[in-house]
Amino acid sequence: MTIFNVATAAELSSAIAGAAGGDRIVVADGNYGKLSIFNRSFDSTVTIVAANPGAGAHFDGLTITGSKNVSLVGLDLGR
């Protein structure tokens, strides 16, 4: 399992592209715009989690299409 710590939208995109099943992506507080995940299927769950759940990893919207085994925890979506 790899843990990716990200603090920008570019780092998040890179982490998602490089993730494998069982990995965890920890998202620092900040505004990340729209989160889009397309055609990413993992053998086991990849977890994208806020470093401070509910506190400030903000996304303006979310689109997940053609993907499986992606879990989102503690992110602020679309407010």
Please state, rounded to an integer, the average pLDDT across all residues of the chain: 95
Query: Residue 16: its pLDDT value, please?
Result: 97
pLDDT in tens, 59-76: 999 999 999 999 999 999
Cα 61–Cα 67–Cα 69 angle in degrees, nearest 5: 100
Asked if the model's pLDDT at residue 54 lies above 80, the reply is no
- What is the domain extent for residue 59? 3-77
Kindly provide the residue ranges of all beta strands, DSSP E only, lying in the chain, ordered along the sequence. Answer: 3-6, 24-27, 30-31, 34-38, 41-50, 57-59, 61-65, 68-73, 76-77
**From residue 31, how far is each of 4, 44, 63 by CA, in Å?**
18, 28, 16
Q: Is the pLDDT higher at 38 or at 56?
A: 38
Query: Residue 55: its pLDDT value, please?
Result: 76
Tell me the average pLDDT across 11-21: 97
pTM, entire model: 0.93
- Number of folded domains in the chain? 1
